Structure 1
Amino acid sequence: MINLQLNPALLFTPGNKPTTFSKAEETGANGIIVDLEDSVSTKDKQISRDNAVRYLSKSSDIVNILRINHLTTNDGLKDILAVTEKKLYLDAVLYPKTESPNDIYQLSQLLSQTYDEIALIALIETAQGTVNLHNIVRDSPAQLQALMFGAADYASALNCDGSIQALLLARMKIVESSAMKNLTCYDSPYFDFNDNHGLMNELKTVKSLGFNGKAAIHPKQINQIKSAFKPTLEQYVQAKEIVETYNKASGEACQYKGKMIDKPVYQKSMQVISNFENLR
């Protein structure tokens, strides 16, 4: 099963624009999300489904993720049928409006008829979804590997604006719930792809909260996302020095440049080292 924590930058591509699929591989994105849901109109659902199957019938050097429609809709059922009739080069399925462990269980059961190992990403974008977050993470099958925040739908459901302040609590709940089982957690896309300053500010906030990555809607956002989630060389060197100091102290609390080092600081430094060496 794909390790999503090593893939922080995911690019959404509408299913009705197949030329963007292969181009996504050239952007440096860690993964492509072929979208069959919100970005596709009803009249284009079938052609988008056909495009996705055609693209996923060939291997690629990028993580392939498919956002399907909800299984309570006819299009959702058609999506599942399309991807289970034969095994595709599909690493993960992004499931919209996840609101309970049963959503993930049903999806897992359907996909397991064709796929031995496939990751599931629960898209949390409703009030019911955030209320049930702990249950979703605790009671879903092992195929659930990540959560993703859907800011636009969530803000609409709550009749609030999409500012970082208004949606802070929902983001914190997603990070907290992800930590229960060490799931990857992705932030929602930043929708103004011409606002680099706004994207950077949002990246700083969600990184500080504990998110592992962020989705993008435009190729020009990819490099900023990847840079935000990979530690700097300075942070990497400091983390290595902290680990070395702690190890020399045989695991006892000690000091590094006037700051106390204990087990949590050591563990955080190990994460920084791992992220610097392994993030793609």
Structure 2
Amino acid sequence: MVSFTRILFHQRSQALSTIKATGIRPLRSLLYVPCSSPKFLAKSLEENVASSDTIIYDLEDSVPISRKKEAREDLVSFLKANPYLKTRLAVRINAVGSGFEEDDLASIFSIFPSSPSSSNFTPLSPLKPEDHSSTPPLPVIVIPKVDHPAHLSKVASLIKEARGRSAEVGSRVPLIASVESAESLWNVGDIAGWRGEGCQMSGLLFAAEDFCASTSILRSPSRVELLYARSRIVMAAKAFNIAAVDMVCINYKDENVLKEECEEGRRLGFDGKQAIHPAQISRIQSSFSPSLSEIHRATRILEGMEAAELENKGAFGLDLGGGKAIEMIDEPMVKAAKRVVQVANLLGMTDKALSSTTDTDEGPSPHGP
């Protein structure tokens, strides 16, 4: 138990150092909140909604063209009245070329012109009054219909103009690009690797319904026709060390379908999943968090490798117990184990792992269903 505890807390220190250096942290649930009505905005303060790791206030698809201006004004009024939310703040603007994107960004950054970078903002637990700086952190900007890097450069230019000279030196606005077309998927590596002044490419998001409409793909319950697109998005994101966010489960009242999609998405390498209803948050968060069995296994791997290194060995056999075979462990599996324990620490699961000595069935197995 002493070694188990030491490893967990050592990995916590390393995880926090990584966060400080890169701004990368676990991203699980991203819930859309329509800006089409002040009622929806007010509901986003309720605990069942605010429990999402990220809330995306949507100015795009959920708002009819006739209400774009009113929705934008409603969102600005709401954020002025509630500058310190309990979760990471994101805003989905209208697409480049829609005619609305410039006003969207000008309105948003009229509130956050000189805010510190949101990479310094930890969304995993509620903010306390003493956590508040003089200005709230910058929002994440979700950009729909990003077909090529030029769309990102255009948004960066508009953000720079909107923030003006009051922007804090060194602060960068996080961007998440939405992959929605064949052209977008073809260019996804260039999109993921984009760099621009004043902004930071932070993630890729898969908009499955728009993608199917663009490519004439016919959806099936198995989702097999989307495996290539989803895998390509994950690989592009991992290549540039940014987040990969899986598609919306449109069957939001079917818990079994949501569970299947979440577990499949995690096995594919996604970091989180979009949500369209508060009832989806809990399942998404549990699926994209390490289970207690994964944490215990990861810690045993780290303990075993420490012992092997003392004997100048680069690998060792992990006894699976219960009369099962011994599994050979080497450096790639150690890296994966470190990631599991770091994520567990960042999600506040350390105490639960320390107090538990039994496996749990929450979350998908890292080796498949």
TM-score interval, smaller chain: over 0.9
Q: In the alignment, does 2:195 pair up with 1:140?
A: yes
Moved more, 262-271 or 11-20: 11-20
Kept in 2: contact 1:189–1:216 (CA 8 A): yes
Q: For residue 37 of structure 2, give the secondary structure of its aligned residue in structure 1.
A: coil
Deviation of 1:254 after TM superposition, in Å, equals 1.4
Give the alignment partner of residue 126 of structure 1, picking from 155, 175, 181.
181
Q: In the alignment, does 2:315 pair up with 1:253?
A: yes
Distance 1:220 1:150, change over 3 A: same
2:126 — aligned with what?
none
Q: In the alignment, does 2:287 pair up with 1:224?
A: no
Distance 1:206 1:247, change over 3 A: same
Kept in 2: contact 1:5–1:184 (CA 8 A): no
Aligned positions of 1:1-280 closer than 5 A: 3=23, 5-25=25-45, 26-27=47-48, 28-57=51-80, 58-87=83-112, 89=136, 90-113=138-161, 114=163, 115=167, 116-141=171-196, 143-163=200-220, 164-250=223-309, 252-257=314-319, 258-279=326-347
1:134 partner amino acid: G
Q: Which structure has the greater CA radius of gyration? A: 2
Q: For residue 74 of structure 1, give the secondary structure of its aligned residue in structure 2.
A: coil
Q: Pairwise CA RMSD of aligned residues?
A: 1.9
**Superimposed CA distance per residue, residues 144-197 of structure 1 (whole angstroms, 9 cap, x where no aligned partner):** 010000001001111122342111111000000001111111111111211111
Deviation of 1:22 after TM superposition, in Å, equals 4.2
Kept in 2: contact 1:64–1:92 (CA 8 A): yes
2:176 partner amino acid: I
Moved more, 155-164 or 226-235: 155-164
- How far, CA to CA, are the matches of 1:4 and 1:87 in structure 2? 21
Kept in 2: contact 1:36–1:69 (CA 8 A): yes
- How far, CA to CA, are the matches of 1:256 and 1:245 in structure 2? 7
Kept in 2: contact 1:124–1:149 (CA 8 A): yes
Distance 1:112 1:249, change over 3 A: farther
Kept in 2: contact 1:151–1:162 (CA 8 A): no
Question: How many equivalent pairs are there?
Answer: 280
Q: For residue 190 of structure 2, give the secondary structure of its aligned residue in structure 1.
A: helix
- How far, CA to CA, are the matches of 2:293 and 2:38 in structure 1? 41
Deviation of 1:4 after TM superposition, in Å, equals 5.9
Kept in 1: contact 2:298–2:340 (CA 8 A): yes
Moved more, 105-114 or 213-222: 105-114
- How far, CA to CA, are the matches of 1:169 and 1:205 in structure 2? 13
Q: For residue 86 of structure 2, give the secondary structure of its aligned residue in structure 1.
A: coil
- How far, CA to CA, are the matches of 2:260 and 2:24 in structure 1? 24
- How far, CA to CA, are the matches of 2:52 and 2:316 in structure 1? 40
- How far, CA to CA, are the matches of 2:67 and 2:254 in structure 1? 29
1:274 partner amino acid: Q
**Superimposed CA distance per residue, residues 189-227 of structure 1 (whole angstroms, 9 cap, x where no aligned partner):** 111211111111111111000000001000000000000
Return the TM-score normalized by structure 1. Answer: 0.94
Deviation of 1:136 after TM superposition, in Å, equals 1.2
Kept in 2: contact 1:98–1:125 (CA 8 A): yes
Deviation of 1:110 after TM superposition, in Å, equals 2.4
1:111 partner amino acid: I
Deviation of 1:100 after TM superposition, in Å, equals 1.4
1:149 partner amino acid: F
Distance 1:21 1:248, change over 3 A: farther
Distance 1:194 1:86, change over 3 A: closer
Return the TM-score normalized by structure 2. Answer: 0.72
The unaligned stretches of length 5 or more in structure 1 are none
Identity over the aligned pairs, expressed in percent?
28
